[in-house]
């Protein structure tokens, strides 16, 4: 009885994991699925006043 309860609870946990549909890589989606285009990374410019402070310390 204990093994049956353990198996049932494991199946319920596995069924409720929240995954809908198969997993796929964004670079190679299955036919009919359009992957979301993320914004490219843009580095933050270095502040001018911090550059002046570091040059004064040297």
Task: Quote the CA–CA distance of 43 and 26 in Å, as a whole number.
Answer: 23
**What pLDDT sits at residue 7?**
94
Sign, CA dihedral 19-24-27-30, equals negative
**What pLDDT sits at residue 42?**
86
Residue pLDDT, tens place only, 4-58: 999 999 888 877 676 667 777 777 777 887 777 778 888 888 887 655 666 665 5
Q: Has residue 2 got a pLDDT over 80?
A: yes
pTM: 0.31
**What pLDDT sits at residue 38?**
76
**What pLDDT sits at residue 47?**
81
């Amino acid at each position: 009885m204990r093994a049956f309860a353990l198996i049932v609870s494991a199946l319920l946990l596995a069924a409720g994991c929240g995954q809908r549909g198969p997993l796929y890589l964004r670079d190679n989606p299955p036919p009919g699925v359009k992957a979301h285009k993320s914004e490219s990374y843009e580095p933050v410019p270095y502040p001018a006043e911090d550059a002046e402070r570091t040059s004064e310390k040297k």
